[in-house]
A and B are shown apart, each in its own frame.
Chain A
Amino acid sequence: MRVHVNGKARDVAAATLGALLRELDYEDGAIATALNQNFVRKTDRSKTPLKEGDAVEILVPRQGG
Chain B
Amino acid sequence: MEADMDEDRLTIYGVALSSRLLAGTAQYPSPAILSCAIAAAKVEVATVSLRRESGGGRAGKNFWELIRELGVRVLPNTAGCRSVKEAVTTAEMAREVFGTPWIKLEVIGEEDSLQPDVFGLVEAASILAREGFQVFPYTTEDLVAAERLLAAGCEVLMPWGSPIGSGRGLNNPYALRSLRAHFPNVPIIVDAGIGAPSHAAAAMEMGFDAVLSNTAIARAGDPAKMARAFALAVEAGRIGYRAGLMHARDMAAPSTPVIGRAFSDFARA
Q: Do A and B bind each other?
A: yes
Q: Which of A11-19, A34-42, A46-54 contacts B (4 or more CB under 8 A)?
A: A34-42
19 contacts between A and B (CB under 8 A): A27-B57, A29-B61, A30-B64, A32-B94, A32-B97, A33-B93, A34-B89, A38-B89, A57-B52, A59-B93, A60-B50, A60-B97, A62-B48, A63-B25, A63-B26, A64-B25, A65-B26, A65-B47, A65-B49
Query: Which residue of the partner chain, among B25, B52, B63, B165, contacts A59 with CB atoms under 8 Å?
Result: B52
Chain A residues packing against B (C-beta within 8 Å): 6-7, 24-27, 29-34, 37-39, 41-42, 57-65
Q: Is B28 in the interface zone, CB < 8 Å from A? A: yes
On chain B, the residues within 8 Å of A58 by CB distance are 52-53, 57
Complex contact A64–B49 (CB within 8 A):
yes
Q: Is B223 in the interface zone, CB < 8 Å from A? A: no
Give 3 nearest A-B pairs by CB, closest first: A60-B60, A64-B49, A32-B93
* B207 to A: closest C-beta gap in Å: 24
Q: Is B18 in the interface zone, CB < 8 Å from A? A: no
CA distance in complex: A39, B133 (Å) = 15
Complex contact B56–A61 (CB within 8 A):
no
On chain B, the residues within 8 Å of A41 by CB distance are 96
Q: Is B98 in the interface zone, CB < 8 Å from A? A: yes
Q: Which A residue sits closest to B67, measured CB to CB? A: A61
Q: Is B164 in the interface zone, CB < 8 Å from A? A: yes
On chain B, the residues within 8 Å of A62 by CB distance are 48-51, 53, 60, 63
Q: Is B134 in the interface zone, CB < 8 Å from A? A: no
Other than A37-B86, A63-B49, give 19 A-B pairs with Cβ distance below 8 A.
A24-B56, A27-B61, A30-B57, A30-B64, A31-B57, A31-B97, A37-B85, A58-B52, A58-B57, A60-B61, A61-B48, A61-B60, A61-B61, A61-B67, A61-B97, A62-B63, A63-B28, A64-B48, A65-B77
Per-residue contact bits, chain B 212-253, to A (CB 8 Å; 1 contact, 0 not): 001100000000000000000000000000000000000000
Contacts A58-B52, A64-B76; is A39 near B61 (CB within 8 Å)?
Answer: no
Complex contact A34–B93 (CB within 8 A):
yes
Complex contact A63–B48 (CB within 8 A):
yes
Complex contact A61–B86 (CB within 8 A):
no
Complex contact B52–A63 (CB within 8 A):
no
Q: Is B24 in the interface zone, CB < 8 Å from A? A: yes
Query: Which residue of the partner chain, among B50, B86, B90, B215, contacts A65 with CB atoms under 8 Å?
Result: B215
